[in-house]
Structure 1
Amino acid sequence: MNIALLGYGKMGKSIEKIALERDHQIVLKVTSETDTFDLSGADVAIDFSLPSVAVKNIKRALDSNVPIISGTTGWLDDYNEVVTYCEQREGSFLYASNFSLGVNLFFELSKKLSQLMSEFKAYHVTMEEIHHTQKLDAPSGTAISLAEAIIANTDYTNWTLKEAKPKEIHIEAKRIENTPGTHEISYHSDIDTISIKHIAHSRAGFALGALIAAEWISDKKGIFTMKDVLNIG
């Protein structure tokens, strides 16, 4: 499979390493200094760029009839616009706030726990996420996805980085050197606390998940998520 990497930072380089190990070819590497690029030789594009260029990259791939998966976060105010653009062009698009197979299982575990806890009003939920200092957005896209799933299954109405009001989920976002990613969800009451946590040990899990998604979407049309790739949920 010929892969175009739209974004060639740490994640792009991790994806390249595993892609070559899986006998794929990298036919294009787009960096922040790349002005123009041609996607005609690519079977699929993988976008781990910057929030400021992610939408442009996705639309360019769709215009080129190249399936694209995106793991860039911080641009989701434009998500519905991208979905409409993909539908109009009968293209292939998959977005995930986190491609780690373990994190996607964690999403399902958190969803189930929130459904169970929704009946027990003595508990209130908080979240903590920790990432490396180079991560530009806070909270992480993964934390937002986790919070939105809890909101959908409980009477919580919003998440906040500030002190939480009633029916708000407080997210504490920390940035620490050389931390691939940690997410913890805790339900607190006066008598006990229930917590679940996912800890990433390296970027390899994210890169592998992105490649599995790229392999999966290469011959499909439509808008997808990692649930489709992993057949979960």
Structure 2
Amino acid sequence: MKHITLDEQLKEKVPGYCLAVMSFEMIVKPTSDSLKEEMALLEQRVMKQLTLETLLKEPRIAAARAGYKSLGKDPSRYRLSTEALLRRLIKGNGLYYVNNAVDIGNILSAQTQRSVAVLDEDKIEGDILIRIGKDELYEGIGRGNINIENIPVYCDEVGPFGTPTSDTPRTRITETTKNILVFITSFNGVDGLLQDVKLAKDLFTRFGQMTNFSLEIVE
């Protein structure tokens, strides 16, 4: 497990910011039929339970949006990944099939209503600092350069590699990935995080044959 620190300025501006960090090994494979079925069931549940209007009233979504606002960022312009994902499902657009690790992360994010980062731990160099983003170069996966100023940023010795809005190609999961690091980000404290971890363990065990699991709650 990498050593992870939260910057004091971030904690001061968003007192409820914390995260569950999981490290484990798994077998990365193409999306299986059983995983596709799990994703389809999730899509149906979301469409039945949420609308674009009610989504914004969900406590975890509301807390995350408030966290962005407290940092000076417009959450409607720079959406958190979990909100963007749920909006996609509400509109009837299904999840992409990437691989089992990424797909599980999307299921986990939609079910927990928290931003989830699924990262190749071997591509992260040195310790990790989570700080407020500055005016700095950042490429989001499939999004080109994005503005990460005034949002939480995950940084290693090389530089930023992830945010609750978008991760970078540098630490993305590939079929050769073996060691996984997962961030489940909360903007309203640790309540419910251990239940989210339990769900994550179940999903990664069922669909990724997870082994050598370790957990840290960072706050």
Could you say which TM-score interval applies, normalised by the shorter chain?
under 0.3
TM-score normalised over the length of structure 2: 0.24
